[in-house]
Structure 1
């Protein structure tokens, strides 16, 4: 059974379509990129799947059941720009938020939950910053903390919105290492991604999106010059030996 099936999702903001009849299913245990130009609806697609923005039509199934019944199977890493970094909390407390789906919002986290959160911080190389206020962390460190929070959710299907944006090379290497570890555990990870140069290196499957879903399938099959031109149009700045760059201006 597929970990995720999306049927005919349409989303409109102020009556202007952002996503139009998007349908796809993804295989289990894969790293999956969602790529497309700015304004293509990539973040909106994730948010509509998670019920964070209203859908005009369509529905979502996680392992054959409605998303509302499968929330505990889901982990989510939002864009850094959507997080209130001035909120007075430290790195460990942020990661512990990932345990609330298991312990509930009323109960206090147990010693076992705290130990698990600390283990997740260690996995992302942030143990030394457990007591540091999140606003005092660098952008890459903040991203690692939110990745640790997703790990603490102990999910089966993960959604990550541009986790590599604005991070240094060491953090990017650490993130992809963790994503591969999740994949090796049989978990499914969908990532909004903008760097076309690393798509074939990082991802098994790829969704090409520009308001409509243009292609979906194994990266080696769908990540072609023809499909990229169809997706990006004139924004595709150059093509060389199967690689591409995007003019975002």
Structure 2
């Protein structure tokens, strides 16, 4: 029986901004149906890695494959939650319309969403606890509420692979709990989910496997084997104040 192709494969991927290298020679094959944390210090290239896979940034070198094919051939399988800070929240639209944008990949840009699409969008809002805000202007939402709306939009895409860029950044405890619940549901549906994440204290609770990035791929694999003091020191260098207590890692191991 032929083994199934990896959901996301990158080969010697390199990216530069204004000729300054940001990612260097990253080679990685993702597992399928797992929650994958992308971990590393600020400026390590975590968001760049996602954007390079999605074709939002040009590659200096290397290749990206989605189930063994170029991204453009499989882009309908992808859902994306960008950083909240990168969005113009003053744009005059309401919550339901934002979530309906997630349906255009299924419809094509020239077909208007119908009643079934609205029902799907409302179901996605229900999953993130935002049903009562469907007619609210997005500019009137709190940061946590905005993040939930973007998560609902990604769910409306009904994707196979999800990329989430710091979905937990600056959210309240209730929103974090809602996001985790959605991630667990996606995993139960055998979706593959990449999450850029900063809180090292919750890595072992949230993710099945991790990537440790600092311009290069330092380590990747199942969280229990990969989230070690040695690998974290290689990734973060001398910034040990950021790391979990060594005793916690030893207990985990």
Q: Normalised by the shorter chain, which TM-score bucket? A: over 0.9
Residue 81 of structure 1 aligns to a residue whose secondary structure is: helix
Summarize the alignment of residues 51-70 of structure 1 with structure 2, pairs less than 5 Å apart. Answer: 51-70=55-74
Whether the 8 Å CA contact 1:196–1:243 is kept in 2: the answer is no
Cα deviations by residue, 1:100-121 (Å, 9 ceiling, x for unpaired) = 0011111110110111001100
How high is the TM-score relative to the length of structure 1? 0.96
Are the counterparts in 1 of residues 229 and 246 from structure 2 also a CA contact under 8 Å?
Answer: no
- From 208, 213, 234, the equivalent of 2:212 is 208
Instruction: Show structure 1 runs of 4+ deviating over 4 A.
Output: none
Look up the match of 2:134: 130
Is the counterpart of residue 242 in structure 1 residue 248 in structure 2? Answer: yes
Unpaired runs of 5+ residues, structure 2, are none
Matched, 1:48 2:52: yes
C-alpha separation in 2, matches of 1:67 and 1:105: 19
Q: C-alpha deviations, 1:4-35, integer Å up to 9, x for none?
A: 11111100111110000001001110000000
Higher strand fraction (1 or 2):
1
Partner of 2:20: 16
Q: TM-score, normalised by structure 2?
A: 0.95
The partner residue of 2:163 within 159, 164, 170 is: 159
Deviation at 1:240, TM superposition (A): 3.5
Partner of 1:170: 174
The residue that corresponds to 2:198 in the other structure is: 194
Number of residue pairs aligned between Structure 1 and Structure 2: 244
| Cα shift readout 1:131-186 (whole Å, capped 9, x = no counterpart) | 00001000000000000000000000000000000001111011011001000100
